[in-house]
Amino acid sequence: MAGARAPVLPLQQARNLQLAAQGLLRPAARAATPAAVRRCIGRMELLQIDTIHVVARSPYLVLFSRLGDYPMAWLDQALAAGHVFETWAHEACFAPTAQLALHRSHNRATRQHWGVALGRTGDPQQQEHLARLLAHVRSSGPVRSADFTRTDGRSGGWWGWKDEKLWLEALFARGDLMVARRERFQRVYDLAERVHPGIDALALPDATAVRDAFIDASVRALGITQARWVHDYFRLKPRLRDADLDAWVDDGRLVRVAVDGWERPAYVHADHLPLLRQAQRGRLQATHTTVLSPFDPLVWDRERASAMFGFDYRIECYTPADKRVYGYFVLPLLHRGRLVGRLDAKAHREQGMFELKSLFLEPGVEVDDELLQALAGALW
């Protein structure tokens, strides 16, 4: 492989390759099934969790973008049945249970999540609180944060968490507790060994093996990527350089490619060689139109979304209202291989209404009947 001339791809075919890897190139060919939900998560490697539900909570929307209409309970059932589990990865995420040992090893070694620091605190009083809460779960069974009454008189609000919520998060981050299921999207925590019997007997890979596995999974999930984007998928440190992937190219795990207009090389996983060949021949055709969650893997790395799709995007729900450019919860609009706009919307669940507050199209995107029909089909 060393010294071989890198395949060259037009930018649109590079985009289409990434969409194909992410399950967003074409509409779903058949009706969704519970197994399709599990396969979709496996394909992405991670399904980010966020509690904002102006339109729909993010994990359900990410699946909808790929599968079309499906019962949202299927994701909850996959968690309760042990097909997926919750972990701290890109952020809080669902991940395939087949990757449990990797994530457990990584989270034991990382200090990226504040809960890990709290769980490992040297403060004797905090350790006593954690031990008491863990003993309570051991003797009394699964718990929710809502099971504990606030006694300090303060309001909750964002991050105004009661102590038990903080301790549950710390025990979760430390690996003592796992999420057994969700009830109305609230976490139900239980001992890790009760959620996944045999977890303590898992052979945990070392840090080098975990990093290699996550690099491999990141490149495969992205379809095509520059080296500098690989670390973000699993929040690996440090950021990768091209030199870090030389050995991967030499042994055939990755293929180095050139993309028109890019100064830096890109990389395609060996599993995607059939897609790469189609892209080289210009045969990857994007036909899917859908809205995306702000926390969709396609756009959660703003730097990557800008380089891949020329789409400058940031979430404005945490921005003061008078400083927002587009709206509170703006969804990217994917149409036939391009991010053509963004819409600000809100679901009124009690009334059974979907409010489209505003639609912003990217410069150069023309409104025609085909776009309007595709957008209508994606929303209704």
Domain boundaries, the chain: 113-195, 289-379
Q: Average pLDDT for consecutive 10-residue bins of the chain (380 residues)? A: 76 99 97 98 98 91 97 98 97 97 92 75 87 97 90 51 89 95 96 97 96 99 99 96 98 98 98 98 98 97 97 90 91 97 89 87 92 87
Q: Which DSSP helix (H) or strand (E) runs through 48?
A: strand 47-48
pTM of the model: 0.94
Nearest to 293 by CA among 18, 14, 24: 24
Quote the distance between the C-alpha of residue 55 and its chain's center. 17
Helix (H, G, I), strand (E, B) or coil at 177: strand
In this predicted structure, what is the pLDDT of residue 154? 57
In this predicted structure, what is the pLDDT of residue 1? 45
In this predicted structure, what is the pLDDT of residue 152? 58
In this predicted structure, what is the pLDDT of residue 3? 54
**Encoded amino acid at 228, one letter:** R
In this predicted structure, what is the pLDDT of residue 143? 97
What gap in Å lies between CA 191 and CA 80, rounded to an integer? 14
**Residue 136 C-beta-side C-alpha neighbours within 13 Å:** 16
Helix (H, G, I), strand (E, B) or coil at 321: helix
What distances in angstroms separate CA 292 from CA 75, 92, 313, 379, one per listed residue?
18, 18, 12, 11
